């Protein structure tokens, strides 16, 4: 039996129309969306329908509400986070995130929430192979592009390494960021691991990232290892799910076991 397709509701059709207008530039980035009364009059539907349609766009991360000013089109396009290329290019700026945003023609900015000595949380201590509450350097940051928040990033470095690089206690750790400073100490990262989960943003995260309630975030636990196989940094990234695309590539470790295309071993 063929499935019966239910026609789209009015608010879904309006949401599709508004989404297409955003995509084709009718409504440009960082500009306000027409008001609910304006859209209601133009499209001949109720304000309730317009409100529901705008909520669809808010949940998709395409627009955001600025209290007292209206609903605005988000100005940052989806960003591809290439796990391999981003770290190879970090010396082109103050870090991988800085380089990523500049490549898109966006203006990066970092808000430093905390920099200093702290006690290692349990999960961080496990990843670094140190005792719980052992001293670490913490660098808590909120990253922006064109003044829109793009991620929360908390980095933890064992204190015995961090104290040898005073630049790590400054807001600007210098060209190449923390990893270049670690390399100067003989502990430059040569291997990385990442664990990725998707979850709903907490209230604090939603506020800091200017997300509406219920929007998903990408949660990445990134660990950097030096040539002696010591974990030298744990970075916890929380990123709006709608804003980022993750890309990973790798070589096949068993490739030599298979014949090539022309039949040679």
Could you tell me the residue ranges of all domains in the chain?
Answer: 10-73, 79-247
Exposure letters 46-80 (e unless 16+ CB within 10 A, then b): eeebbebbbebbbbebbbbeeeeeebbbbebeebe
Structure tokens at 75: 């100005």
Between CA 76 and CA 122 the distance in angstroms is 35
pLDDT value of position 3? 56
pLDDT, tens only, 112-143: 999 999 999 999 999 999 999 999 999 999 99
pLDDT value of position 99? 78
Which CATH class, in words, describes the domain spanning 79-247?
A: alpha beta
Element (H, E) at 144: strand 135-145
pLDDT, tens only, 49-82: 999 999 888 877 788 887 788 888 988 888 888 8
CATH number, domain 10-73:
1.10.10.10
Residue appearing with tokens 């192979």: 129
Write out the DSSP string of 59-107: HTTSEEEETTTEEEE--PPPEEEETTHHHHTGGGSSSHHHHHHHHTT--
The interaxial angle of helices 36-43 and 10-23, nearest 10 deg, is 110
Residue appearing with tokens 């002696």: 228
Between CA 137 and CA 129 the distance in angstroms is 15
pLDDT value of position 1? 46
Residue appearing with tokens 């709608």: 242
**What number of residues does the chain have?**
265
C-beta separation of 113 from 134 below 8 A: no
Mean pLDDT of all residues in the chain? Answer: 88
- The phi and psi torsions of 126 (rounded to 5 degrees) equal -60, -45
Q: Among 224, 112, 97, which residue's Cα sits nearest to residue 157?
A: 224
213: which residues sit within 8 A by CB, 6+ positions away?
Answer: 201, 203, 206
pLDDT value of position 93? 59
Strands 231-240, 216-225: parallel, antiparallel or unpaired by DSSP? antiparallel
pLDDT value of position 212? 77
pLDDT lower than 50: segments of the chain: 1, 263-265
């Amino acid at each position: 039996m063929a499935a019966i397709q239910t026609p789209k509701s009015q608010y879904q059709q309006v949401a599709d129309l508004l989404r297409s207008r955003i995509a084709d530039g009718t409504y440009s980035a960082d500009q306000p969306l027409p008001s609910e009364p304006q859209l209601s009059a133009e499209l001949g539907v109720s304000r309730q329908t317009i409100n529901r349609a705008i909520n669809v766009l808010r949940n998709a991360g395409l627009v955001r509400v600025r209290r007292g000013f209206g609903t605005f089109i988000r100005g940052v396009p989806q960003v591809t986070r290439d796990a391999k290329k981003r770290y190879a290019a970090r010396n082109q700026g103050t870090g991988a995130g800085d380089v990523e945003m500049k490549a898109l023609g966006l203006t990066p900015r970092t808000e430093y929430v905390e920099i200093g000595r702290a006690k290692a949380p349990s999960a961080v201590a496990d990843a670094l192979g140190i005792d719980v509450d052992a001293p670490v350097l913490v660098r808590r940051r909120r990253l922006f592009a064109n003044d829109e928040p793009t991620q929360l990033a908390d980095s933890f470095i064992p204190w015995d390494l961090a104290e040898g690089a005073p630049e790590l206690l400054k807001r600007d750790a210098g060209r190449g960021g923390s990893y270049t400073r670690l390399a100067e100490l003989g502990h430059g990262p040569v291997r990385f691991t990442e664990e990725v989960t998707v979850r709903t943003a907490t209230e604090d995260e939603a506020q800091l990232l200017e997300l509406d309630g219920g929007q998903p975030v990408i949660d990445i636990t990134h660990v950097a290892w030096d040539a002696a196989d010591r974990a030298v940094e744990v970075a916890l990234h929380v990123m709006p799910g709608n804003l980022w695309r993750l890309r990973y590539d790798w070589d096949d470790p068993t490739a030599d076991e298979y014949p090539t295309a022309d039949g040679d071993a």
